[in-house]
Structures are given as C-alpha cells and as structure tokens.
C-alpha cells in the first residue's frame, strides 16, 4: 500500500531471504518479534499520519505484545511518543484558533496507546516488581550494558543471574550505572562507545 509493486516485492524478498530465512530453523522469539514489532511500527506510523482511536488501541496492544517477546522494543515507544507530542505541539502553534481541541484530542489518543500497552504488559511487570523489585526489569539494561564486554556480562549472569543471586552481593560488586561511572574515566567511556560503533559497522 505504501510502495509501488516493484519496491514492495524487493522489500518482501529482502526481508524473507535476508532476515526470516536464517531464523526459521531455530526455536527463537526473534521471528515473531520482528513481525509484531513491524506491525506495531506500521500502526504507530499511521498514528502520525491520521490518528484514530482504534489505531491507538491496536498500536498499544501490538507494541505491548512485542515487549513481552523482547524488551528491546521499549525505546521505540519512547521515541514515537516524543515525535507524536512534538507533532501535536507543532499543529497547535501552527493553528491556534482550532488547534487547542485537536491538541487535546491527540493527547487523549497518546494516553490510549499508553493505556493499551500497559494493560497488555501489566501482569508481567507486576511479577517483575514482586520478584526483582523493578517493573521494567531487564537483565541486559540492568547488568550487561554496564559490563566492559559481553563475556564479562555473560559470566555475571551465569554466576549470579539464576534465582536472583545478584541480590546477595554487596552493591559495589553489582554492575550498575553508579559503579560504571565511578570506575571509568570519560576517555574510557568514549573509547568504548567508539569501539562499539566500529564493531557494529563491521558487523562483528
């Protein structure tokens, strides 16, 4: 619907044989996660073009389902929300005479998206809060990203991850933002970011 037939065929072919084919033989969440996150992307994109209440409900539900598969979808909701608010403010200041009601209507739709998203993930995040002490608990963002390498993060999870053994450690031995900033210099942080970007560009 968005592209010509030739471009649509090229996109489907590249996606099928460049992404899904390599994941298909394995019992992993990635294949269904890619599908759910893509559907969420299309629904939220439509919300920027022509916002409607049913799109808000469907977009919130779909991004909630994607979050239950992998937490890496969460920044997408934050970025979309920021863009949606900025777009709403732009429309308001561009047409102040009739923009007020439209602005608050859009804010209402934003709340519908967030409410639908929360309703889908509520049982999961309540369990997270009870077991781990955080609603949006995630091992990667809580521990691994504050380690100096993936092997270091994996060793920590293998040793202290099961059963929440990390809670028995003194705070200064648990990977965290506070510890990372305390034991690393600005130069080391910049060097790590640059190396990570280079490795990503080389597809390591």
C-alpha torsion sign, points 42, 55, 76, 26: negative
CB 33 within 8 A of CB 92: no
Q: Is the pLDDT of residue 21 over 80?
A: yes
Collapsing DSSP to helix, strand or coil, 101 comes out as helix
Residue 200 has pLDDT above 90, yes or no: no
Percentage of the chain lying above the pLDDT 70 cut: 97
DSSP state of 164: G
* Three-state SS at 68: helix
* Confidence class for position 54, pLDDT limits 50, 70, 90: very high
Q: What is the pTM of this model?
A: 0.79
8 Å CB contact between 63 and 77: yes
43: burial class by Cβ within 10 Å (0-12, 13-18, 19+)?
buried
Binning the chain into helix, strand and coil, the percentages to the nearest 5 are 80, 0, 20
Q: What is the pLDDT of residue 143?
A: 87
Instruction: Convert the pLDDT of each residue in 144-153 to its tens digit.
Output: 888 888 888 8
pLDDT of residue 203 exceeding 80, the answer is no
Task: Measure the CA–CA gap between 59 and 76, rounded to whole angstroms.
Answer: 12
Phi, psi (rounded to 5 degrees) for 170: -65, 150
Given a contact cutoff of 8 angstroms between Cβ atoms, the answer to whether 66 and 74 are in contact is no
Which residues make Cβ contacts (< 8 Å) with residue 140, sequence separation at least 6?
71, 72
């Amino acid at each position: 619907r968005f592209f010509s037939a030739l471009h649509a065929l090229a996109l489907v072919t590249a996606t099928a044989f460049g992404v899904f084919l390599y994941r298909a033989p394995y019992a992993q969440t990635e294949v269904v996660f890619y599908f759910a996150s893509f559907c969420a992307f299309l629904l939220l994109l439509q919300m920027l073009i022509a916002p409607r209440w049913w799109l808000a409900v469907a977009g919130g539900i779909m991004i909630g389902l994607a979050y239950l598969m992998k937490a890496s979808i969460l920044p997408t909701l934050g970025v979309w929300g920021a863009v949606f608010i900025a777009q709403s403010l732009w429309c308001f200041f561009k047409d102040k005479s009739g923009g007020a009601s439209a602005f608050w209507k859009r804010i209402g739709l934003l709340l519908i998206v967030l409410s639908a998203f929360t309703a889908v993930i509520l049982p999961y995040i309540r369990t997270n809060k009870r077991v781990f002490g955080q609603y949006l608990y995630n091992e990667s963002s809580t521990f691994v990203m504050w380690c100096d390498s993936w092997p270091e993060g994996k060793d920590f999870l293998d040793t202290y991850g099961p059963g929440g053994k990390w809670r028995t450690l003194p705070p200064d031995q648990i990977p965290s933002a506070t510890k990372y900033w305390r034991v690393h210099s600005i130069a080391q942080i910049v060097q790590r970011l640059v190396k990570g970007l280079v490795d990503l560009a080389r597809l390591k």
